[in-house]
Amino acid sequence: MIQLNANLFARVAMAQSSDPGRYYLCGVCIQRNPRGEGVTLTATDGHCLLTAHDPNADPASVPVDGMIINLGKDGLKAARKGQALTIDPATGDASIDNVWRSAASTIVDGAFPDWRRILPQGVQIATGAAFDIKILSRLGEALCDWRKSSHGLTMRGADDASPHIIACDSPDAAIFAVCMPIRVTPTIATPTWL
């Protein structure tokens, strides 16, 4: 059995895809941490990515190639309020806090992309990149946890067109996001009325 932080799983799942054509992105990828401590939880819809480290999860409980789990809407709702998520790696059956149980969660059959290759390298303090406000709102909610007080987001990217690392200024460093900028015509200038 795989035992994970339920709330962390739900936060990462906010970036999973709902596009049936990209079925392999319709869940959270659980992988052994390459450094041997805990597991990583990763989800992406192709526009943004959330990844988190659960240091308390047993990496040996996760299949060597990792697995993609979709808890479904009810499962994610329960996970947001829960503490411990237990998943049977053979069937995908899940339970939260030994109270909520479901056989409706599924193992997504497919290969999750190598998400580490898009991590920005050589990031700088600030760029002129623009981001979709709906995506930033969703990432802010996931990164800063809706159960805690508000925090600020920091963004780092190599240039205006490169993926940016986004993190919350809270002490919760176990989760971060990567977001692709959007193409816009620059309009930022001092307002003429000032």
pLDDT tens per residue across span 81-110: 878 898 888 888 888 887 766 656 787 888
Look at 33-37, 130-134, 189-193 and tell me which has the smallest mean pLDDT. 189-193
How far does CA 18 lie from the centroid of its chain?
Answer: 14
Does residue 138 contact residue 48 with C-beta atoms inside 8 Å? yes
Residue 193: pLDDT over 50:
no
Higher pLDDT, residue 49 or 101: 49
Tens of pLDDT, residues 118-139: 776 655 555 678 888 888 887 7
Could you tell me what percent of the chain has a pLDDT over 70?
A: 81
CA distance between the termini of the chain: 62
DSSP state of 112: P
Comparing 144 with 43, the larger pLDDT belongs to 43
Strand partners, 42: 29, 51
The mean pLDDT value for 1-14 works out to 90
